C-alpha cells in the first residue's frame, strides 16, 4: 500500500469523525476499527498488515488535522509488550477483549516478571500458581514493576510445576490488578521518584481463561514478550538528532564558552553512534509484520543504554556547576518517563536504569554472544535439575 493510499484512508477517517466534534475515545476507537491504530498489526486487529514504519504516514496526516493520540507513553508496557504477546499467543477471544481498550489507553498494563530472589534469572521465579478447579491461585512477590499503581491488568509469569526444570515449569497469565489479593507498594529510586513498585500477590485468583499459551509454555511466551520489550526500548522511530543527542547538541550550541576540544570529540562520536542506532532501528521498523523480534534485536537495547548513559554524563560535564543542580527531589509517582522534560541531573541519574530495565546489558550481551554469534554458553550448574531441587 502506498503513502497516498494511507493518506486517503486517514482522510476518510477524519471526514467520518471530525476531531473537533468527536469525543476523543470515540475517535480512537474508530481509528482502531479502520486499521489505522497500528498499521503493522494484522487486519481486524487495529492494523493493515503493513510494516511498523508505515504508521508514520498515518500519524502525520492525523496530527496535521488535530486528531488525538492514545498517549503511548502512558501505556508503554501494554503497547510494546502485552499487545504483541497477545497477538502471537492469545486466543481470538482474548485478543478481542484486550486489544482495543489497550490501544485506546482505557486499560493500562504493567509487567509482573522480576522477583527479589530471582535477580536477572527470570526462569528462576518462585511465585506460584496452583489450579483450583478452573481458577489459578497465585502467591508470591514481584518487584521493579513500572506503573503498577495505574494498571488495570498485568502480564504475569508464575511457576505452575516446581518439579519440572526451571524453564519448563512456568505459565503465563493476564493478572487483574484490581483483585483484592494484589498489594502495590512504591519503591523510591535514585531520582527521588517512584516509577517502580513491589507487588505482593496473596491468593490472587485468575480464571484459566486468562492464561496465555499452554500450561508450561510460560518461558517461551515470556521470551517473546522480552524480545518485544527490547525493541520497544531501543528501536523506537525518531527523527535525526532527537532524544538525548538533541538535548546535548543543543546544550553545546547554547554554551560556546564551555566548549573544549576533548568534549567536541566525544560529542561527535556519540552523534555518529546515535545516528547509526537510529538508522538501525528504522531497519527493524521496516520489517514485515509477520517477522517477530529475536535475540539479535537485543543489540538495539544494549546500544540505547550505552549511548544514553554516555550522553547524560557528557551533558553534566559540559554544563559544569549547572549540570550538578537537581530540579526536583520530591517523591512523585510519574505516569511516564520524560528525559527531555527534566533537568540534566535527573537525566544523568535516570539513565543509570537504562542498562538494567528490560534485561541488564550483561545478560543481553551473553544472549547475543550465545544465540547470535554462536559462542560457547556460560556454565549453568542448575541445567537439567528440577527447580525444587536446585540451590537458590
In the numeric block, which cell numbers belong to residue 385? 535439575
Catalytic residue among 229, 317, 357, 389: 229
Nearest to 83 by CA among 231, 192, 225: 225
CA 66/CA 72 separation, integer angstroms: 17
282 catalytically annotated: no
Contacts (Cβ under 8 Å, ≥6 apart) of 168: 161, 216, 219
Catalytic residues: 229
Amino acid at each position: 500500500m502506498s503513502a497516498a493510499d494511507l493518506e486517503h484512508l486517514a482522510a476518510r477517517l477524519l471526514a467520518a469523525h471530525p476531531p473537533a466534534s468527536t469525543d476523543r475515545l470515540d475517535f480512537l476507537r474508530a481509528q482502531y476499527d479502520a486499521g489505522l491504530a497500528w498499521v503493522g498489526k494484522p487486519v481486524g486487529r487495529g492494523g493493515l498488515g503493513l510494516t511498523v514504519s508505515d504508521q508514520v504516514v498515518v500519524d502525520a496526516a492525523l496530527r496535521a488535522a488535530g486528531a488525538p493520540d492514545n498517549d503511548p507513553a502512558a501505556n508503554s508496557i501494554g503497547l510494546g509488550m502485552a499487545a504483541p504477546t497477545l497477538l502471537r499467543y492469545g486466543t481470538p477471544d482474548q485478543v478481542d477483549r484486550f486489544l482495543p481498550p489497550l490501544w485506546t489507553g482505557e486499560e493500562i498494563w504493567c509487567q509482573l516478571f522480576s522477583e527479589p530472589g530471582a535477580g536477572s534469572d527470570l526462569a528462576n521465579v518462585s511465585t506460584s500458581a496452583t489450579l483450583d478447579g478452573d481458577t489459578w491461585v497465585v502467591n508470591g512477590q514481584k518487584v521493579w514493576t513500572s506503573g503498577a499503581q495505574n494498571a488495570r491488568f498485568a502480564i504475569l509469569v508464575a511457576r505452575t510445576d516446581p518439579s519440572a526444570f526451571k524453564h519448563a515449569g512456568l505459565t503465563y497469565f493476564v493478572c487483574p490488578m484490581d483483585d483484592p489479593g494484589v498489594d502495590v507498594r512504591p519503591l523510591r529510586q535514585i531520582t527521588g521518584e517512584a516509577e517502580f513498585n513491589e507487588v505482593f500477590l496473596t491468593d490472587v485468583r485468575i480464571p484459566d481463561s486468562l492464561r496465555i499459551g499452554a500450561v508450561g509454555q510460560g518461558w517461551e511466551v515470556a521470551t517473546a514478550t522480552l524480545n518485544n520489550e527490547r525493541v520497544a526500548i531501543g528501536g523506537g522511530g525518531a527523527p535525526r538528532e532527537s532524544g538525548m543527542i538533541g538535548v546535548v547538541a543543543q546544550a553545546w550550541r547554547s554554551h560556546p564558552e564551555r566548549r573544549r576540544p576533548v568534549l567536541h570529540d566525544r560529542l561527535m562520536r556519540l552523534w555518529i553512534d546515535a545516528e547509526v542506532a537510529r538508522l538501525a532501528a528504522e531497519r527493524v521498523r521496516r520489517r514485515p509484520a509477520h517477522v517477530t523480534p529475536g535475540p539479535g534485536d537485543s543489540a538495539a537495547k544494549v546500544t540505547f543504554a550505552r549511548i544514553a548513559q554516555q550522553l547524560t554524563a557528557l551533558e553534566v560535564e559540559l554544563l559544569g556547576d549547572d549540570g550538578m543542580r537537581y530540579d526536583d527531589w520530591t517523591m512523585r509517582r510519574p505516569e511516564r518517563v520524560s528525559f527531555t522534560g527534566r533537568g540534566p541531573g535527573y537525566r544523568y541519574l535516570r539513565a543509570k536504569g537504562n542498562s538494567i530495565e528490560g534485561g541488564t546489558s550483561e545478560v543481553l550481551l551473553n544472549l547475543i554472544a550465545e544465540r547470535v554469534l554462536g559462542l560457547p554458553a556460560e556454565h549453568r550448574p542448575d541445567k537439567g535439575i528440577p527447580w525444587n531441587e536446585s540451590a537458590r
